[in-house]
Structure 1
């Protein structure tokens, strides 16, 4: 069933085009759609290899049908098991096709933004610790998102600039998102226009429009 329209952008930093630690996933799974955006600390071969391992594991856990916070816990155990000395921020959103609810679990990543059909934007601030330090993860936050809602997930390369306050940049991101058309490709383009990449960090960006398809409309 068609639950969402999706647009993504991935822009590697200019000086290490082959080695980046940012990634995104969009996986149809039992009962819905699982979205994830993550960022492994550092720009080394180790970071790139670890990112590959984490993506494969994330897919496997998602296909097994684990809820987002459980996936975070399993990835955290895996990081410890492989002896990784790197950390990872990761935000996972599961769109439940039966209820239309978003189940959001965020391990130290930028908060996802949610734009309601009326154009109002909020960031979902609830989060747990980043992965790789062995701390427990809170249960996923459930958020209602009616059809026509838009979800934006990104990595900090989009908004983080030297000598600029990250909090102010995130506020500007919310206000820019509020004014863009409700079309996911144009949202990605509009955000990259408002926050031109400076080539210093990778950027992964995902815009998702919830269509409400596949949901039971009976009350």
Structure 2
């Protein structure tokens, strides 16, 4: 057990936000399926899984994404795999939507009375507890859920020696327009939450990893 703990901490110390990858060094199909599976298995609030992952291997599409993605200028052309993480928009996240009905019936196999009770509870949560009362708030809440697989995929990659870079440096509207124009997303239902580049680093960072000390980030209430 102690050895496993050491391996996990070592993986987190290994992980960096890699700016440029070795373009000729590719992640194996088996390894990348493992990374995606970790993302798929990630938890979400109410179990709604309000996400979708688009793996962009088409280099022409990557070129189109360069202009609005200022934070991915080196990663887009060099990454072995490039993932755009999408979040469900408000129309899909309200009780009564086709998407929530699909999750309840086809994925969770809830009986009708249980589904009704869950959706009623979720409606109260939206209106009264988390103030998810407009389209933007609902989309932002879905984006918060996307950050669970977002982090898990990068951690899983680090644990098997694969590098990554989380990316928020992009014009959300322009990226969505490109994806919609290419028929990749229906922008009524899905929007871009974040991106991750995966691959193998071109060179080690000259800077050490830094974090605040434990006592600065943890308070114990005993």
Greater relative CO, 1 or 2 (CA 8 Å, sep 6+): 2
Choose between structure 1 and 2: higher strand proportion. 1
Q: TM-score range by the shorter chain?
A: under 0.3
Choose between structure 1 and 2: higher helix proportion. 2
Provide the TM-score with structure 2 as the length reference. Answer: 0.23
Provide the TM-score with structure 1 as the length reference. Answer: 0.23
